[in-house]
Amino acid sequence: MSIDLDDIERRMEGAVATLKTDLGGLRTGRASASLLEPIMVEAYGQQMPIAQVGTISVPEPRMLSVQVWDKGQVALVEKAIRESGLGLNPMADGQLVRIPLPELNEERREELVKVAGRYAEQARVAVRNVRRDGMDQIKKSEKDGDMSQDDAKLFSDEVQETTDRYVKLIDETLEVKEGEIRQV
């Protein structure tokens, strides 16, 4: 049995990608199209991502807009944004839905920092789980005689280095996001 270090790295990369997606949905002081991406709209009798019913853009630093392609969907897009739990108040202007981003107060910023911290911890746990799986594979291969003790040590060191690199990347990603959230 061989140890697939590429697979281990790919799984750790997935944990970081998930973290970046989760953090992208957290609202900072600046507008970001990724804020609206998780929102689902009841359109044509089914739930659809908002990006499939209109074009999301950022015309100003504190404003988002959705150019809805079908005039009949404007009210549904407005409703989906209002009910998304993001605290946004959209306003329709023809087929354009404008979404001004309210200022974040200090208390809300600290709540968002805590949420970001939880997302980062979930990512660290996911990376550590991948590390544990890799180490278990190495121990099993060594025990079954498929790998020498020296090779097992080399693979273990490499898995640990990869883990450390991804945990550091998670910490750096969190630090950048906390800076964005706290920026007034």
Question: Higher-confidence residue: 109 or 121?
Answer: 121
Domain ranges of the chain: 5-24+105-182, 33-100
Summarize pLDDT for 85-107 with one digit per residue, the tens: 677 889 999 999 999 887 778 88
How many Cβ atoms sit within 10 Å of the Cβ of residue 52? 11
48, 56 Cβ separation under 8 angstroms = no
Q: Angle between the 5-24 and 106-143 helix axes, to the nearest 10 degrees?
A: 170
Structure tokens at 176: 């950048």
pLDDT of res. 14: 93
pLDDT of residue 96: 93
Lowest mean pLDDT among 27-31, 106-110, 119-123: 27-31
Where does 33-100 sit in CATH, by number?
Answer: 3.30.1360.40
Phi, psi of 32 (to 5 degrees): -145, 130
Give the whole-angstrom CA distance, residue 106 versus residue 67.
Answer: 32
Closest CA to 50 of 76, 24, 11, 21: 76
Q: Which CATH number fits domain 5-24+105-182: 1.10.132.20, 3.40.50.300, 3.40.190.10, 3.30.930.10?
A: 1.10.132.20
Largest CA distance in the chain: 71
pLDDT at 110: 84
Quick check: 144 and 1 in contact, CB under 8 A?
A: yes
